[in-house]
Amino acid sequence: MKDLKEISTRLEIAKKKIKKTNESSGRSNAASLGKALKISTELVAAVVVGSTMGFLLDTWFGTKPLLIICFFFMGAAAGIINVFRAAKKMH
């Protein structure tokens, strides 16, 4: 019984050590550069998707150019939200 207890405490300590090294090495240079590259396209993509949606809906309902204007601005808003969220995740 005593042996088992000793082993379990040693295991616990080892696990904590692993966790510590995992946390400290998590923020490498490559990871932060990847995040920087990620944000740049985030904004553009949402504007493109929003405008495309507006254009398609316009051709369906025949309301040119009302919806494409609305959806362009909503796409821009979505892009800003995307960037905001991506930046928030970095902490």
Partner 1 sequence: MNLNPMHQFEVFKIGPEISLGDINLSFTNASLFMTISSVLILFLLFFGTKKKELVPSKIQLITEMSYTFVAKMMNDTAGSGAKSFFPFIFTLFMFVLFCNMVGMLPYSFTVTSHIIVTFTLAAVVFLGVTVVGFAKHGIKYLELFVPKGVPMALLPLIIIIEIISYLSRPVSLSVRLFANMMAGHTMMKVFGGFVISLGLLGGWLPLGFSVALTGLEILVAFLQAYVFAILTCIYLNDALNLHH
Nearest to 49 by CA among 81, 84, 76, 82: 76
The first and second tokens of residue 61, run together, are 């309902």
Taking CB under 8 A as the criterion, the residue among 42, 58, 67, 68 binding partner 1 is 42
Check the CA dihedral 40-43-47-48 and report its sign: positive
Residue 55 binds partner 1, judged by CB under 8 A: no
Residue 53 binds partner 1, judged by CB under 8 A: yes
Closer residue to partner 1 (CB): 48 or 55: 48
The first and second tokens of residue 45, run together, are 């993509």
CA atoms of 86 and 91, how far apart (whole Å): 10
Residue 16 binds partner 1, judged by CB under 8 A: no
Residue 49 binds partner 1, judged by CB under 8 A: yes
State the residues that interact with partner 1 by CB under 8 A. Answer: 22, 26, 30-31, 33-34, 37-38, 40-42, 44-46, 48-50, 53, 71, 74-75, 77-79, 81-82, 85, 89
